[in-house]
């Protein structure tokens, strides 16, 4: 495993409890509502890099059946304090423990950003493999970096790949998604120097 990824996981492990507290009230609520509407009530979705279960309750309260996981073991431990009976697991989303065509939607904000640029297509292909139908939502910082050091409070320095709107659109189209859209969105911590790109796509059943 790339040292930059192991360092990033260690940073999230160290800050998991504080991360949950700081980000719990700063969630992309409009995106969650849009995603839930696209899936349809009762749909089964996967949150592929959930951290300390930040969006699990919101997705569930929107009427979805949620399976969630993360590579950070401490984030999973903290997540289980909120959802002791929830479907949370420690996994590497590059090799998901599911058969093909299982889910009705893929929720992956700030997930693929932790892969090197050259591995993102392969990473998205794995998410696409387990999806039967419905929407996908990805988000990245806007830019042109390849696993560069960035600040993600309160975890501190982590490594992230940044993309342009055209790159994100091409990534989704190349994976077979249709109705692809890319939105520029402000940072949830209101950092003026940081813009996020939300990428949307859909698979027909």
Q: Would you say 170 and 182 are in contact if contact means Cβ atoms under 8 Å apart?
A: no
Q: How far apart are CA 52 and CA 77, in angstroms?
A: 8
Nearest to 108 by CA among 65, 138, 142: 138
Q: How far apart are CA 143 and CA 119, in angstroms?
A: 17
Q: Would you say 184 and 142 are in contact if contact means Cβ atoms under 8 Å apart?
A: yes
- Using pLDDT thresholds of 50, 70 and 90, give the confidence band for residue 2: confident
Task: Say what the pLDDT of residue 1 is.
Answer: 73
Nearest to 137 by CA among 78, 196, 70, 60: 196
CB neighbours of 201 closer than 8 A, spacing ≥ 6?
135, 136, 172, 173, 175, 177, 178, 179, 180, 181
Q: Would you say 196 and 140 are in contact if contact means Cβ atoms under 8 Å apart?
A: yes
Task: Say what the pLDDT of residue 14 is.
Answer: 96
pLDDT tens per residue across span 48-90:
999 999 999 899 999 999 999 999 999 999 998 877 667 899 9
pLDDT tens per residue across span 107-129:
999 999 999 999 999 999 999 99
58 to each of 25, 36, 79, 159, 168, how far by Cα in Å?
A: 11, 10, 14, 27, 25
Task: Say what the pLDDT of residue 87 is.
Answer: 83
Write down all domains in the chain, each with its CATH number in brackets: 3-203 (3.40.50.150)
Q: Element (H or E) spanning 166, and its range?
A: helix 165-174
- Using pLDDT thresholds of 50, 70 and 90, give the confidence band for residue 140: very high
pLDDT tens per residue across span 150-192:
999 999 999 999 999 999 999 999 999 999 999 999 999 999 9
Q: Would you say 196 and 185 are in contact if contact means Cβ atoms under 8 Å apart?
A: yes
pLDDT tens per residue across span 191-200:
999 999 999 9
Please name the residue that has the structure tokens 């693929």.
Answer: 112
Instruction: Please list the residues that pair with 157 across neighbouring strands.
Output: 151
Nearest to 133 by CA among 170, 109, 106, 110: 106
Q: How far apart are CA 148 and CA 19, in angstroms?
A: 21
């Amino acid at each position: 495993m790339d040292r930059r990824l192991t360092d990033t996981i260690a940073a999230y492990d160290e800050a998991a409890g504080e991360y949950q507290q700081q980000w719990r009230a700063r969630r992309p609520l409009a995106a969650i509502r849009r995603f839930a509407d696209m899936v349809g009530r009762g749909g089964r979705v996967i949150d592929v890099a959930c951290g300390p279960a930040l969006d699990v309750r919101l997705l569930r309260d929107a009427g979805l059946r949620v399976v969630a996981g993360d590579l950070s073991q401490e984030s999973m431990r903290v997540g289980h304090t909120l959802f002791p009976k929830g479907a949370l697991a420690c996994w590497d989303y590059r090799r998901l423990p599911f058969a093909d065509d299982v889910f009705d939607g893929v929720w992956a904000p700030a997930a693929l950003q932790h892969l090197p640029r050259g591995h993102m297509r392969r990473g998205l292909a794995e998410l696409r493999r387990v999806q039967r139908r419905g929407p996908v939502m990805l988000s990245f910082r806007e830019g042109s970096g390849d696993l560069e050091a960035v600040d993600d409070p309160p975890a501190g320095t982590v490594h992230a790949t940044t993309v342009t709107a055209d790159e994100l659109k091409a990534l989704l189209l190349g994976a077979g998604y249709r109705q692809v859209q890319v939105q520029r969105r402000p940072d949830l911590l209101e950092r003026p120097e940081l813009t996020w790109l939300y990428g949307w796509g859909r698979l027909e059943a």
